[in-house]
Amino acid sequence: MGLKKVEGKWIESKFVDKHNYELLTPKSTSFLRRHKKITTQKNLINTFNEAGVPTQKIISVLSQGSGGHCNIGCTSIDIQNYLGNKRKKLFEKGMHRSCTSTSKNVK
């Protein structure tokens, strides 16, 4: 679909029917990339992760607290990626500290 503005109004200038897809239900839209976010749950996810709770159990708790999987705003893979990135940053920060302390000892 193409749109253009003519005399202050938007009009459809091009429409290709074969590129027209079914609309998603509101429950399904939470799985679109743009709608996924781990913001309000970060503290809870971090707390459970530090306590050794597996990702699937974290998803279960978040699901029960928000009224269903479609209301969580993320998937278990999103949580795994979030925790993995967090661990990677901590590891890199630790490696940086150990490298700088080693270089100080060499001098």
Number of domains the chain is built from: 1
Structure confidence at residue 84 as a pLDDT band (50, 70, 90): very high
* DSSP calls for 16-56: -GGG--PPPPHHHHTTSGGG---STTHHHHHHHHHTT--HH
81 conformational bin, left if phi > 0, alpha if psi -120 to 50, beta if neither: alpha
pLDDT tens, residue by residue, 27-71: 666 666 666 667 778 888 999 999 999 989 998 998 888 888 777
**Confidence band, pLDDT 50/70/90 cuts, at residue 90:** confident
Q: Domain limits at 73?
A: 2-106
